[in-house]
Amino acid sequence: AVGAVWPGDVAFPDFMNSATVTWWKEALTQFQSAVGFDGLWLDMNEIENFCEGVCYADQRAAAGAGQKARLAYVPTGRDLEGNTIDLDAVHVLDDGSTVTELDAHSTFPLLESKASHEWFAEQGKRTMIISRSALAGQGKYASRWLGDNHST
Set 38, 94, 95, 148: catalytic member: 148
**Where does the pLDDT of residue 62 fall: very low under 50, low under 70, confident under 90, or very high at 90 and above?**
low
Q: What is the pLDDT of residue 143?
A: 92
Determine the distance from the C-alpha atom of residue 36 to the mean position of all C-alpha atoms in its chain, rounded to a whole number: 24
pLDDT digit string, tens, across residues 27-54: 999 999 999 999 999 988 888 888 877 8
Say which DSSP state 93 is in.
P
Phi, psi of 30 (to 5 degrees): -65, -40
Cα–Cα distance for residue pair 33/133, rounded to 1 Å = 27
* Average confidence score pLDDT of the chain: 87
Cα–Cα distance for residue pair 132/104, rounded to 1 Å = 17
Set 9, 14, 43, 81: catalytic member: 43
Q: Is 26 a catalytic residue?
A: no
Q: Is 148 a catalytic residue?
A: yes
DSSP reduced 3-state for 70: helix
Rg (CA), the chain: 16
Question: What is the four-CA torsion angle of 121, 124, 126, 132, rounded to 10 degrees?
Answer: -40
> Is the distance from CB of 92 to CB of 14 less than 8 angstroms?
yes
pLDDT digit string, tens, across residues 75-122: 788 888 788 888 888 889 999 999 988 888 889 999 999 999 999 999
Q: Is 48 a catalytic residue?
A: no
Set 46, 81, 88, 101: catalytic member: 46
